[in-house]
Amino acid sequence: MKLTAKFLILFVAVSSFAWAQGNDLQSRADSLAKDGKWQEAAAAYAALAQQSPDNGYAWLSLGNAYLTLGKNDLALQAFDKSLALRYRPLLSSIGKARAYALEGQKDQMIGVLQTLVANGAGGAARAQILSNTEFNKYSNDAQFQELLKQMQPCTSAEYRKFDFWVGDWEVQDPQGNVVGKNLVTLEQSGCLIVEHWTASTGGQTGTSFNYYDVRDKKWHQLYLDNSGNAGSFPAMAGNLVDNKMVLLTDPNSTPLSRWTWYVIEPGKVRQMAESSSDNGKTWQITWDSVYVKKN
């Protein structure tokens, strides 16, 4: 038992020392890269990767250092290592595509980017492509431009289900009295719907952010007004049901709120809010309005 305990203490001590060495080496490599000393940075990242072969950060950083130095073959090998470790696969794949672009290996570059599109990372990849100059030489290439078009984010049907609410609206109550105005805009390359509400009294304004989340395949809304109370309007989530956008607050909360939007006729949308204090068994209308699109 005593020998085992001593061995354990020794193992922990050696492991801690190795970790500290690796941490210092990474800090040194990062500092060299920050100062633009890429030759020294590459050597430091290579030493770190050799010391800790499972360190994805080291391999990705080494690939970027080699890219900057024009050592594209070595960069490709480093990016392959970080990909094998599943470390930041988007940036690792973009790194490979950049190296292929610099080498003029168009087919290999296109292959990497097509894989990103197939994996659902096209939108994020597009932003990276547009910000890296290595791809500029393909700006007039038809195949490359078609791929960029495929990467255009938020174009699938799921992202367009709430577009019927986009517009410049006069908002009326069920009796036809004007209660406010609402400018609803499509922003962030079609990935975000933003509401800009102003009450007819001029006292209340509010903004909501509405978006489709691929993770839970639901629409979400976060609304904030000028009251200063962020809890006045809890976040909601839901989806399009029978051509009606239905969003609800957390089902575990009380009272439960449900908001519904749907087209009454061209140029008119109904927005209705309901509240339930019995877990959705019965509902009471708390807000009812008709949106009339301005000419």
For the chain, percent of residues with pLDDT exceeding 90: 82
Tens of pLDDT, residues 147-178: 999 999 898 899 999 999 999 999 999 999 99
Judge whether 184 and 169 are in contact, CB under 8 Å: yes
Distance CA 290, CA 103 (A): 59
What is the residue-averaged pLDDT of the chain?
Answer: 91
Assess whether pLDDT exceeds 50 at residue 8.
Answer: no
Is residue 10 predicted with pLDDT exceeding 80? no
**What is the pLDDT confidence band of residue 192, given thresholds at 50, 70 and 90?**
very high
User: In angstroms, how far is the first alpha carbon of the chain from the final one?
Assistant: 86
Residue 7 pLDDT more than 50? no
pLDDT value at position 9? Answer: 40
User: Looking at residue 22, what is its pLDDT?
Assistant: 57
Instruction: Give percent of the chain with pLDDT exceeding 70.
Output: 93
Q: pLDDT tens-digit profile of 230-246?
A: 888 999 999 999 999 99
Per residue in 203-215, pLDDT tens? Answer: 899 999 999 998 9
Find out if CATH 1.20.1050.10 is the number for domain 2-150: no
The reported pLDDT for the residue numbered 4 is 55
Asked if residues 212 and 158 have their Cβ atoms less than 8 Å apart, the reply is: yes
**What pLDDT, on a 0 to 100 scale, did the predictor assign at position 253?**
87
pLDDT at 18: 43
Model pLDDT, residue 171: 98
Separation CA 265–CA 276 (nearest Å): 28
Using the predicted structure, report yes or no on whether residue 16 has a pLDDT greater than 60.
no
Whole-prediction pTM: 0.71
Q: How many residues does the chain have?
A: 295
Q: Which residues contact 92 (CB under 8 A, 6 or more apart)?
A: 60, 63, 79, 82, 83
The type of residue at 180 is G
- Structural element, H or E, at residue 127: helix 122-130
* 127-154 pLDDT tens trace: 999 999 999 999 999 999 999 999 998 9
pLDDT at 295: 79
Q: 273 falls in which pLDDT band (50, 70, 90)?
A: very high
Write the CA distances from 6 to 13, 14, 15, 16, 17, integer angstroms: 11, 12, 14, 15, 17
- Fold adopted by 158-293: Lipocalin (2.40.128)
| Domain parsing of the chain, residue ranges | 2-150, 158-293
**pLDDT band with cut points at 50, 70 and 90 for residue 54:** very high
